[in-house]
Amino acid sequence: MNHQPFETWIVEGSPLSETQDKEYGHLSTCKKCSTLYTSVQEVERQIKSLPVMRPKAGFTSRWKDLAIERQARALEQQSRRLLYGMAAAAALLLVLVVINVVFNGSPMSWFIGLMETCVETIVGLKVLQNAIFAWIRTVPLTIQLAIWIPITTIFGFLGMTWVIALWRIPTQGVQVS
């Protein structure tokens, strides 16, 4: 006797067909299929009778705590990554400078070049400062004040923003929307 169609019907749990009588007839005579039928029915009955499990009270507040903790940790990791990235970039730049010194001239010539650049920059800034002061001295006192007050305010504000931004990076990370 081929049990396959009966086993498939029993295990699939598909709706009974027109051949229901024939299939039940087979179940009454075949011990193997009737055992399978009973087992499938019993397993399904037991699965369906089991209660729905609920979490312990306070699940949502525990989730809130977890979310706050994970968000803080994510920000911390992000700021650490940023700092490590900046440090790595600085190290790379230093390595490139050293390589450049080693392969393109002596350290002394590179140092002299660096000093020349610094002196040129300082002299350039001094010239610019003198030009600005000379221009300001030519205008009346009231206009001078009107120029200085907004300039110092703007630069003071920008400086403070810059300091606060630098302080926020390692402490609070960078918020990405």
Partner 1 sequence: MSDTEALWLQQAQLGDSEAFSQIVEKYQTPVFHLCYRMLGDEQEAEDAAQETFWRAYQSLKRYDPQRSFATWLLSIAAHYCIDQRRRNKVPLMSLELLPEDGAPDSSPTPEKVVGQGQEDAGIRQLLNHLAPQDKAAVIMRYWYDLSDEEIGRALNLTVSAVKSRLFRARRLMADRWTITHPESNQAVRRQHESPAF
Cβ nearer to partner 1, comparing 7 with 76: 7
Q: Which residue has the tokens 């989730």?
A: 63
Cβ nearer to partner 1, comparing 1 with 108: 1
Cβ nearer to partner 1, comparing 61 with 138: 61
Cβ nearer to partner 1, comparing 7 with 110: 7
CA 112 to CA 126: how far, in whole Å? 21
Question: Nearest Cα to 1, choosing from 31, 44, 35, 45?
Answer: 31
Give the shortest CB-172-to-partner 1 separation in angstroms: 17
CA 136 to CA 151: how far, in whole Å? 13
Task: Measure the N-to-C terminal CA separation of the chain; round to a whole number of Å.
Answer: 68
Give the shortest CB-15-to-partner 1 separation in angstroms: 15
Cβ nearer to partner 1, comparing 60 with 104: 60
- Helix 20-29 vs helix 4-12: crossing angle, to nearest 10: 110
Burial class (CB in 10 A: 0-12, 13-18, 19+), 159: exposed
Give me 34's structure tokens. Answer: 């009737």
Give the shortest CB-3-to-partner 1 separation in angstroms: 12
Give the shortest CB-174-to-partner 1 separation in angstroms: 16
Give the shortest CB-85-to-partner 1 separation in angstroms: 23
Give me 31's structure tokens. Answer: 């011990």
Which residues of the chain form contacts with partner 1 (CB under 8 A)? 7-8, 11-13, 21, 24-25, 27-28, 34-36, 38-44, 46-56, 59-60, 62-64, 66-67, 70, 177
